Amino acid sequence: MKFNDTSINTDERFTIGIEAVSGTYYVSIHVNNRLVDYDEYYEISKESYELFLKDPSAALIFVERCKARQEDESLMFKPGADRGVAT
């Protein structure tokens, strides 16, 4: 998989982008556990992608839901036993 970030929000620590091979739209958030820092990727629709690029406040609402683990059904990769915490 090749993740191409379209928009990077350094203050809130999330990105919006398109995975190059599949064309899947995503939002990623930074997380860490006791061993490593990594990103969690959440699949979004094309409509959400376009909205989030135009309206960062809408993206932030989604990101906060991801951080609270309320969007886990959209995770592109299911977390392991030592799931990280959003930073």
- Model pTM? 0.93
What tokens appear for 82 in the block?
Answer: 């030592």
Residues with Cβ within 8 Å of 34's Cβ and at least 6 positions away in sequence, in order, are 82
What does the pLDDT look like over 24-49, one tens digit per residue? 999 999 999 988 999 999 999 999 99
- Domains of the chain, by residue range, sit at 3-80
| Half-sphere exposure for 64 (CA within 13 Å, toward CB) | 6
Cβ atoms of 32 and 87 within 8 Å: the answer is: yes
pLDDT tier for residue 82 given thresholds of 50, 70 and 90:
confident
